[in-house]
Chain A
Amino acid sequence: MELIFSLLQQLSVYLVIAYLLSKTPLFMPLTMLSGRLSQRLACYVVFSLFCILGTYFGLAIENAIANTRAIGAVMGGLLGGPIVGFAVGLTGGLHRYSMGGFTDVACAISTTAEGLLGGFVHLYFMRRGSVEKIFNPLLVFAVLLVAEVMQMSIILLVAQPYQQALDLVKTIALPMIIANSLGAALFMSIIQDRKAIYEKYSTSFSSKALTIAERTVGILNSGFNQQNTQKIAKIIYQETGVGAVSITDREKILAFIGIADDHHLPDTPISSEHTKQAIKNGEIIFADGYEVTYQCSIKSDCRLGAALIIPLLDSENQVLGTIKLYEPKQKLFSSLNRSLGEGLAKLLSNQILSSRYLEQQTLLTQAELRLLQAQVNPHFLFNALNTISAVIRRDPDKARQLIQHLSQFFRRNLKHNIETVTLKEELNHIHAYLEIELARFSDRLKVNINIDEQLLTQLVPTFTLQPLVENAIKHGTSTLLENGVIDVTGYLENGLVILKVIDNAGTYCLSEKELQAGLGLQIVDKRLKNSFGEQYGLTMLCQSGISTRAEIKFPFNGEKIRC
């Protein structure tokens, strides 16, 4: 009985050491069953030490040692696998052997066997994919129990003389089984706790980062300006719980939220030397208030005591501005918020870049649209005027109508900012255009329009059909010596809208490359793809001398389209 308590006392010291070790950075890798060489090596070193420690903390009894060596060996095996288990056991065993006594050989063998046992248990659970069970203290308790029983048997089998061995086992068996099993279970429970804390910590870290990322998405799309950065600063302030958050561009403060926002005002020039340095050198500056002093550059009694200044970099590593996190004087800057801050800077940099990209995209489409509108060629205008001037003489009423159509057509072309229209509006536009062309080619052009009623409310990008009709006339029927016929049809097919403009000229038989050069049609196709997806758009089909067919396909009343 006395022996049990003595052993447990020794065990306490042993566990205190284990606990202290668990506080060091050396410890975390042990608990990750990565199977990497570094992890295995760490397991071997740490648990061999524990093995040897177990021997030293043992109590000498009748020329033998009652000990807690088995904990190190089995744990080494459990966390490091059979090879590590074997190695730890052998190391511990050899060490024990070097200390002599009549059980030296038996102890060396049994310790190695214990290490192997732990290793095989490790292997078993790894193969079954239930890694978490390895960390279960109850399991560890059971494994140690088996290991100790095994050890006692080995002592009985190997140690000579047998009578002495039997007496020894009778004395130490129970204390050692209890002490080792209990000790290992407690050791594992320390590991488990550490793991839980670490995981919680990293989960909260990732969830914070994710929440911020999620909440800030798209805010900068309309530009890196005061209004938008204000929103972002607010979100970061709420999510990180730091004292204050500020975002600057290269010259001035764009946003400031939190403690001391009474004198850190947006739209004022940057005054802090730290920030200027961060912008100048593109480096992170951490003025923690101890090693690097921090003093507010505006007000001497400012409550802010520490600042983390991270530059926002673009793809060429040019500084776009900074993000600054502050803590008040009485509060420590947690390392969590520090690395979070660095991550945030990266996030913001990317968002600024993507917003620039988007902005350029929009500008480009707008420019292209304008180009398309500007393509209303002067030839069309002057010919229209000429037609009208001839018609005035013969039929003033018709001339008046033509002028109406012409002005309708131009008015529509001058509306630069409309991105989408209903098919009905687009058809009206075509109608105005066609009235002019029909008058112009009065004796040799015929146009049939046949569009399903139900399609009329469908939204399409502006200038979807008109350029096709214009193309069919300009490059198609107007080059024919005989009469031109253009069919414009629209119908539904398997949930897709099919719009076709077919002429009887067959003169637009261009190669793929030339088609791409046809700016007008290219823009039509691009805008359709932008709105509905890559698989839709415009295809041109030409049978030389017979017909040219422009076909547009996109989903009927699909998602709300964007341009």
Chain B
Amino acid sequence: MLKAIVIDDEQYAREELIVLLSEQQVLEIEVIASCHNAIEGLKKVNKLKPDVIFLDIQMPQISGMEMLSMLDPDNMPKVVFVTAYDQHALQAFEDNAFDYILKPIEPARLQKTLLRIKRSTKKEDYKPLTDKPLTLIPCAGYNRYTLLKPSEIEIAYSDQSGVHIISAEAENCCSLSLKVLEQKTELLRCHRQYLVNSNAIREIRLLDNSLAEIVTSSGAVAPVSRRYLKMLRDKFQLG
């Protein structure tokens, strides 16, 4: 039994796909969630770890493509792209032999795709689609989403409850992993659990034992571990 998540901003489109999936006989598949935007989708994917996602390309604020690049490559589900019409994206799929379905969805075409998923064992590498830097980082605040520009982030850190992002205004939860943030933004690693925005650094305090602390413009503090201090020294040409 495969676990699937459907992500599409149109209600009818989601419903139609779910019905079609339930009607086919190729593969046993269970839709464990359906999300109406990419942020919701990101959260659900990270939480529910589906085997496959059906991902619409055109969605508000964060497109399917951008969402893809926010997913942790290590925990990447299989992705089936769904789009009505997007020449740009289609070209990219063709070039990289990724599977996609066109709306309105043809049941036969869907079956073919599912067959392919059933047979394939290799892990797809979506790098060709996801190598662009992120422009917006979705954060979940209380009862709402915030979209931060990478330049607004001062510190990103992780703890047991997940990844947190500190900006000048607030601290928010984020569904992106530190690894993704490090790869897709300008944030610098200063600790196993901390990333820092080099433009937001106000001071670097050197401590004993070759440790240090970074204080940001808004006064937040990030620890610097031994391993990353040398790199910081090099970068800022500290003695």
Contacts and interface: CB of A to CB of B under 8 A. Distances in A.
Contacts of A393: 16, 19
A382 B102 contact: yes
Contact of B104 (A386, A394, A480, A481): A386
Interface string A287-325: 000000000000000000000000000000000000000
B141 to A, nearest CB: 12
* Best-buried of B37, B104, B105, B145 by chain A (most CB within 10 Å): B104
Interface string B50-77: 0000000010110000000000000000
Contact of A385 (B9, B58, B86, B103): B103
Nearest to B17: A390
Interface string A185-221: 0000000000000000000000000000000000000
A382 B85 contact: yes
B12 A382 contact: no
Given A385-B103, A442-B11, A390 B16 contact: yes
Given A379-B85, A382-B104, A387 B13 contact: yes
Contact of A378 (B60, B85, B145): B85
Contacts of A378: 84-85
A139 B3 CA distance: 117
Contacts of A377: 85
A377 B19 CA distance: 27
B60 A386 contact: no
A479 interface: yes
Contacts of A441: 10
B124 interface: no
A96 B36 CA distance: 116
Contacts of B85: 377-379, 381-383
Interface in B1-26: 9-13, 15-16, 19
A33 interface: no
* Best-buried of B13, B36, B39 by chain A (most CB within 10 Å): B13
B105 A386 contact: yes
A478 B61 CA distance: 9
Main secondary structure of the interface of A (DSSP, over half): helix
Given A378-B85, A382-B85, A481-B39, A387 B60 contact: no
A391 interface: yes
Contacts of A421: none
B16 A386 contact: yes
B103 A383 contact: yes
A385 B60 contact: no
Contacts of A442: 10-12
A479 B9 CA distance: 10
A403 to B, nearest CB: 13
A387 B12 CA distance: 6
A480 B145 CA distance: 11
A478 B103 CA distance: 18
Nearest to B106: A389
B10 A387 contact: yes
A397 to B, nearest CB: 15
Given A382-B84, A385-B104, A478 B11 contact: no
B10 A440 contact: yes
Contacts of B16: 386, 389-390, 393
A479 B37 CA distance: 10
A439 B13 CA distance: 11
A390 B12 contact: yes
B169 to A, nearest CB: 15
Contacts of B60: 478-481
A382 B103 contact: yes
A386 B103 contact: yes
A390 B20 CA distance: 10
B59 to A, nearest CB: 9
* Best-buried of B37, B39, B60, B86 by chain A (most CB within 10 Å): B60
Contacts of A394: 15
A443 interface: yes
Contact of A386 (B9, B13, B19, B36): B13
Contacts of A481: 37, 39, 60-61, 145
Contacts of B103: 382-383, 385-386
A391 B104 CA distance: 12
A386 B15 CA distance: 11
Given A382-B85, A481-B39, A390 B102 contact: no
Interface string A390-402: 1101100000000
Nearest to A378: B85
B61 A390 contact: no
Interface string A118-140: 00000000000000000000000
Contacts of B15: 390, 394
A360 to B, nearest CB: 32
The 4 closest A-B pairs by CB, nearest first: A390-B16, A382-B84, A390-B12, A386-B103
Given A378-B85, A386-B10, A386-B16, 15 more contacts: A378-B84, A379-B85, A382-B84, A382-B102, A383-B103, A385-B104, A386-B104, A387-B10, A387-B12, A389-B16, A390-B12, A439-B12, A479-B60, A481-B39, A481-B61
Interface of A: 377-379, 381-383, 385-391, 393-394, 439-443, 478-481
18 contacts: A378-B84, A378-B85, A379-B58, A382-B104, A383-B85, A383-B103, A385-B84, A386-B10, A386-B16, A387-B13, A389-B104, A389-B105, A441-B10, A442-B10, A442-B12, A443-B11, A478-B9, A481-B60
